[in-house]
Amino acid sequence: MGKLFRAIGMFRRLLTMTAVIALTLFSALPGVQAAPPEGKDVLVYSWNSNMGEFNPHLYSPNQMFSQNLIYEPLVRYQADGMVAPCLAQSWSVSTDGREYTFKLRQDVRFTDGRPFNAEAVKRNIDAVLQNHQRHEWLELTNQLWKAKESGKAPATVVDEYTVRLTLHDPYYPALQELALIRPARFLSPAAMPEDGNTAKGIKEPVGTGPWKLVEAVKSEYALLERNEGYWGDKAKSKYLLIKIIPDTNARVVAFETGQIDIIYGGAGHGAGQIGLDSFERYRTMPGVVTDVSAPLATRALALNTKRFPTDDIDVRRAILLAVDRDALVKHVFLDVERKADTLFSPTMPYCDLGLKPYGFDRNEAEALLEKAGWTLADGARYRTKDGKELALDLCFAGNDTLMKSVAEVVQGDLRKVGVKVNLVGEEKDSNLARQRSGEFGMIFGNTWGAPYDPHSFVSSMRVPSHADYQAQLGLPMKADIDKAIGEVLISVDETRRRELYQYILSTLHDQAVYMPLTYMTNIMVHRDTLEGAHFGATKNEIPLETMYKR
Amino acid sequence: MTRYILKRLLLLIPILLAVSLVVFTILRLGHGDPAMAYLRLSSIPPTDQALEAARHELGLDKPFAVQYATWLGKAAHGDFGISYVTKRPVLEEILYYLPNTLILAGYSLALTLVLSLPLGMISALKKDRLPDHLTRGLSFFGVSMPNFFLGFVLIWVFSIKLGWLPPMGRGGAAHMILPILTMSCMSLCINTRLIRSTMLDNMHSRYVLYARARGLSESSVVGRHVLTNSLIPVITAIGMHAGELFGGAVIAESIFAWPGLGRYAVSAIYNRDYPVMQCFILIMTTIFVLMNLAVDIGYAWLDPRIRLQGDKQ
């Protein structure tokens, strides 16, 4: 009997233990928190990570699209590549191209009620320059900093609503860079720390934009409310709720169950909002509206002109001709992205140059390789010359499925003309390190998109730590290209600027340094009950203020 | 028992020291560079100057030994550094997310125990009959189903098709049902099979044959002998399931947009956020050591024949 009692006792204890665990856990059940508002007046969007502290002057973890919701620039970049007034009503540039004088709007207030004026501009520019080393990648801040170092005031209050920015050199893309989402945007001086150093943190996110922050719950959501005192067209929805959804498939589910109203952003693996296959499915779904933006940046492969065998221009040209990019666009990009014929889309400023695209012509590719002495022995799969095999490494981030698919297609197409491609899929950071060291045959590289293209991107071609610099190093005219880039950035003569861009871009095109693949676009998916949805002028500007539920 | 517990708790200190050194070394042996990851996240071109500035800012320009000593000194005072990515104190962030994961893992463990015990017993007692076939079939199916796939199937059925349960986010109890089911499925099925097979093994033991030969009733044989001997392995399995559940939490938290530690840790790994990874691994080590201790104490509590080491001394 004793054993039976013990067995029963043990079972009872086990159940007791289970019950205790369960009760303890139930008591720890998170209390029902104050739920964010719902309904017709709440536009719901989603993002894959937290918004950060909404600091206008800093980078990660602050998300660019969300900084753009709260803070505004002096001038705004437009889809046609020109800049338009925003917080500055008008501006003038001195004849030497070094001084930019802005007349500010007089009807703008920060959401804390303080006026936006020349003093606020100066305080913000000073705050940015206080940490100029963080912004060294941006030539505008370098120009302002250099001006300061040479004893000039980078930002001067002319009168209450007039401010002057002084550069060291006549740097023509200054206006484009003032339109960037960061760092030159404006926080209420009252929200700055006492010493004005915003890099150490801000008191609260107070801007002049169409939205103001209500609350941000880490890893759950950020809630913004319409800025009722906004100087421009007010947001159409009263609230904007940004749910944090890290997984692309979970985002698809959220859309289908009505948890979010719109999917907007890049498509595809990585930072994409949803996969290309999901987007393809939505294209034919009734009641759902889908759209693809104009080209925003270019997805390309850079060919190393300094390394064997791509140091031979005929080999580079043959490679460009041998890849069927139409098929790539159709089968890998599912026609969501459009085929790119040139390094920059002709819609970018100074880029409509009428360059002749490299088509798909396997015969011509083979003829070029034969001409260069690369022959295919009977029964051999790859070409050889002087006992050396025609082989090169194509390097990519191994966990990026889209890059991997493209790499495999390129490998397959080049095999057909006798070129061996070794795929080197690595960790993302290792791949970046390779771009800096130049240890690649071909490597993926995207242009930076509007408003950085083309000026910031070509500017980076002079910097040794860039894949583009490394890829171009074997060109006989590399020094001339770099010189032209240096000149184009500070040229004040529009005609000369066009000539220089013509020279730079057509030379790179003729020399077959890049294999443009597709023009990257943003995608948009929403129900047909959502009105006012359209694309922003740049990759990271999402015009959520015009959208509302019917 | 008290001495035993104290001894085990003191043992945590050298374990954590060793783990921290190993983790610190391994993380820095990799090819990647957190400064590069930081610039990539910030959309800043990785020029030499930018990299140098980022490395200096993150303290990565100092020698390895100095980095470790600095980290250890601060960690001893509860300061695990600042996240490279979020720029917030690591411990503060981890303690923000940890309770959410503990809640999911705890409920999943409770569900595993509550369901697997009766299912395993029924399956064993009704061997080769319909309940056994059903239970084994379901267990086989459940063990073979990857967590992420089950998560999406559950969402498709209960959120998209039936509209009964929310597919994501944190809110009331309804938000927890699908993630808990997703997380516990694997351990539930494994546990059910474990209980069934242990019971069946015991049922074919010589002592059971002897008990039957002595003319004891079947219920008495099962209650007295089989059940007693079959429950101990379940306790051992709980320790292992805790590990599985924390692993499963990573996936479930991503699919169900649950703001837990698993999701936070995955993004830290992806971004090479060393301070977060170090603190995360130490906390997980502590949880595992404590879980094992709890299992050992559970043994002694459930079966008084088992005495813990400390008491013997």
| CATH number (domain holding residue B169) | 1.10.3720.10
The answer to whether A495 faces chain B, any CB pair under 8 Å, is: no
Average pLDDT over residues B49-67: 83
Token pair 């085929």: residue:
A339
Give chain A's domains with CATH numbers: 37-48+210-294+522-549 (3.40.190.10), 66-194 (3.40.190.10), 297-520 (3.10.105.10)
- Residue B63, pLDDT > 60, answer yes
Q: In what helix (H) or strand (E) does residue A472 lie, and over which residues does it extend?
A: helix A467-472
- Residue pairs spanning A and B at CB distance below 8 A: 173
Categorize the per-residue pLDDT at B292 as very low, low, confident or very high, splitting at 50, 70 and 90: confident
**Sign, Cα dihedral of A23, A27, A30, A32:** positive
Q: Does B138 touch chain A if contact means CB atoms closer than 8 Å?
A: no
pLDDT of residue A463: 82
Please answer yes or no on whether A50 and B86 come within 8 Å at the CB atom. Answer: yes
Q: Show which of residues 189-218 on chain B sit within 8 Å of chain A, judged by CB atoms.
A: none
Residue A346: its H or E element? none
Give me the mean pLDDT over the B274-298 stretch: 85
Write down the residue that tokens 């260069």 correspond to. A372
Alpha-carbon distance A499 to nearest alpha carbon in chain B (angstroms): 27
Residue A181 CB burial class (10 angstroms; 0-12, 13-18, ≥19): buried
A59 vs B contacts (CB less than 8 Å): 41-44
CA separation (Å) from A282 to A46, A525, A527, A542? 17, 7, 10, 20
Query: For the segment B212-264, what is each residue's pLDDT rounded down to a tens digit?
Result: 888 888 777 877 777 777 777 777 787 777 777 877 788 888 888 898 998 88
pLDDT surpassing 50 at residue B164: yes
Q: Which residue of B has its CA nearest to A201?
A: B87
At residue B84, what are phi and psi to the nearest 5 degrees?
-60, -30
Per-residue pLDDT tens digits for B135-158:
999 999 888 988 889 998 999 999
| Interchain CB distance below 8 Å, B41 and A8 | no
| Contact partners, residue A435, CB within 8 Å, separation at least 6 | A443, A445, A465, A466, A467, A470
Query: E-strand spans in B50-107?
Result: none
Give chain B's domain count. 1
Name A298's bridge partners.
Answer: A519
Residue of B nearest to A3 (CA): B224
Cβ distance A32 to B171 less than 8 Å, yes or no, reads yes
Give the E-state strand segments of A27-129 in sequence order. Answer: 42-47, 75-77, 83-85, 88-93, 99-104
Whole-angstrom Cα distance, residue A238 to residue A229? 13
Domain span at B185: 90-272
Contact B170 A33 (CB under 8 A): yes
Instruction: Specify the pLDDT at position A4.
Output: 47
Q: Which residues of A touch B30 (CB under 8 A)?
A: 427
Per the structure block, which two tokens stand in for A232?
């421009």
Predicted pLDDT of residue A266: 85
Predicted confidence at residue A492, as pLDDT, reads: 82
Q: Which of A437, A431, A426, A446 is nearest to A301 (CA)?
A: A446
At A22, which amino acid appears? A
d(CA B165, CA B168): 9
Nearest to B166 by CA among B98, B256, B100, B95: B256
Quick check: helix, strand or coil at residue A184? Answer: coil
Contacts of A256 in chain B (CB under 8 A): 160
Closest CA to A88 of A185, A171, A168: A185
Closest A-chain CA to B41: A60
- Interatomic CA distance for residues A73 and A77, integer angstroms: 9
Distance of CA A244 to the CA centre of its chain: 19
Res. B121 pLDDT band, cuts 50 70 90: confident
Strand A391-397 relative to strand A442-446, pairing: parallel
Show pLDDT as tens, one digit a residue, over chain A (550 residues).
454 455 555 556 655 655 565 555 555 555 445 578 888 899 999 998 889 899 999 888 899 999 999 999 999 998 887 899 999 999 999 999 999 999 999 999 999 999 999 999 999 999 999 988 888 788 899 999 999 999 999 999 999 999 999 999 999 889 999 999 999 999 999 999 999 899 889 999 999 999 999 999 988 999 999 999 999 999 999 999 999 998 888 899 999 989 999 999 987 765 678 988 899 999 999 999 999 998 889 999 999 999 999 999 999 999 999 999 999 999 999 888 899 999 999 988 899 999 999 999 999 999 999 999 999 998 899 999 998 999 999 999 887 878 889 999 999 999 999 999 999 998 777 788 888 889 999 999 889 888 888 988 898 898 887 889 999 999 999 999 999 999 998 888 889 999 999 999 999 999 999 999 999 999 999 999 999 999 998 888 999 999 999 8
For residue B313, pLDDT beyond 60: no
Q: How far is A406 from chain B (nearest CA, A)?
A: 22
Question: Does the beta-carbon distance from A13 to B301 stay under 8 Å?
Answer: yes
Q: Rounded CA gap, B62 and B56, in Å? A: 8
Task: Calculate the alpha carbon distances from A190 to A105, A186, A505 in Å.
Answer: 20, 11, 46
Residue found under tokens 């930072």: A271
Specify the pLDDT at position B312.
46
CA B277, B282, B288, B290 torsion-angle sign: negative
